Amino acid sequence: MASERTELAPAELLKRLRSALANQPEDVPRGWHTANQWAEIWKMTPNAAGILLSRSVRIGTMESKKFRVITRNRGTFPTVHYREKQ
């Protein structure tokens, strides 16, 4: 049995392509945080939070996704964000 294809609607695909080409920052949904933000929440070093997050993604308790956000010195840049797996 063939697997179902998941395709974007043409209008949604065009919107994503134009946004990517224009390097527009994306809105980060609630619940998604960078490793540094999780480090502040958990009151630990960014390095320890990064190790914990990468292991959590590997075992399936957290999920990661890149969002294009405005950075202090690099303009808009894809940055990995994490959230608890739903």
Q: Give the domain range for residue 44.
A: 29-84
* Measured distance CA(81)–CA(1) in Å, rounded: 35
* Measured distance CA(19)–CA(48) in Å, rounded: 33
What integer pLDDT is reported at residue 44 of this predicted model? Answer: 98
Local confidence band at 6 (pLDDT 50, 70, 90 cut-offs): low
What integer pLDDT is reported at residue 27 of this predicted model? Answer: 92
Asked if residue 62 lies in contact with residue 53, where contact means CB atoms within 8 angstroms, the answer is: yes
pLDDT digits (tens, 9 = 90+) for 12-64: 888 888 777 777 888 999 999 999 999 999 999 999 999 999 999 999 999 99
- The answer as to whether 67 is a domain residue is yes
Predicted model pTM: 0.73
Q: What is the CATH number of the domain that holds 45?
A: 1.10.10
